[in-house]
Amino acid sequence: MDLLLEYREQLLAGLVTTVQLALASLVLSVTMGLLGAWAKLSASRAANAVAGAYTTVVRGVPDLVLIMLVFFGGQVTVNRIGAATGLWNYVEISQFAAGALTIGIIFGAYFTETFRGAILAIPRGQIEAGISTGMSGPLLFRRIIWPQMVRYALPGFGNNWLVQLKTTALVSVIGLQDLVYNAFAAGRSTGALFTFMAAAFVIYLALTAVSDLGLRALERRYSRGVARA
């Protein structure tokens, strides 16, 4: 316990990085998810195909493989393009950027399915009613689709978020100084790896428990207008 107190600043800094990474990738993945759901539900064959390929590829390849491909391969690609076109000099992709980008894109695929299901769950008649009263596309989305979509999407959203939060731990493998990395470093230098990994374990558990409670409150709030069975 004294050891943990001694290294509390390092652990806290790691925790902050982990939370920032999770939130940054969440914003990206929700955006990708909305775009993906829109593409999957659109009448355009091309958009369907692109969104279908996106979700299939992402679900077929493990997260860490994609993170490493973006971090190691992406760096080389960006610099080769820069050298060939002369548009930019040497660029370094940070671990944070690579992690947020990759995890955001990966979970965008899961959010695509969640949002697609939620939009499909909205009774068709309500959308038709909106169109017949002359609502424009954006207004229809804002007034009819979004408020109900949120309610239908919340359980899936919560599930995705919990998995996403835990997935951020993998970015420590490419050297991001997050909670796992810092706990491991502290554990290694003090010879107390169990103590520090156990601390990381408990902190992750606290993060998921708090998220779980928050999500339940949100679910109650968004289903206020619905009769309970």
Which residues contact other proteins by CB under 8 A?
57, 59-66, 68-69, 72-73, 75-77, 162, 166-167, 169-170, 172-173, 180, 184, 187, 191-195, 197-198, 200-201, 204-205, 208-209
122 vs 173, beta carbon nearer other proteins: 173
**Distance from C-alpha of 148 to C-alpha of 117, rounded to nearest angstrom:** 12
Q: What is the largest CA-CA distance in the chain?
A: 70
CB hemisphere CA count around 147 (13 angstroms): 12
- Closest by CA to 36, choosing from 14, 11, 58, 6, is 58
Rounded to an integer, what distance in angstroms lies between the CA atom of residue 156 and that of residue 38? Answer: 17
Minimum CB–partner distance for residue 65 and other proteins (Å) = 5
Least distance in angstroms from the C-beta of 7 to other proteins: 15
Cβ closer to other proteins: 106 or 119? 106
Closest to other proteins by CB, 148 vs 172, is: 172
Q: Is the Cβ of residue 177 or residue 195 nearer to other proteins in the bound state?
A: 195
Beta carbon of residue 130, minimum distance to other proteins (angstroms, whole number): 31
* Eight-state DSSP code of residue 90: -
Minimum Å gap between C-beta 170 and other proteins is 6
**Looking at beta carbons only, is 76 or 83 nearer to other proteins?**
76
Closer residue to other proteins in complex, CB, 148/167: 167
Q: 52: left (phi > 0), else alpha (psi -120 to 50), else beta?
A: alpha
- CB 161 to other proteins: min, Å: 13
Measured CA to CA, the distance from residue 227 to residue 56 in angstroms comes to 37
Residue 41, classified by CB atoms within 10 Å of its CB into exposed (0-12), middle (13-18) or buried (19+), is middle
CB of 66 to other proteins, least distance (A): 7
Which tokens belong to 153? 């999407």
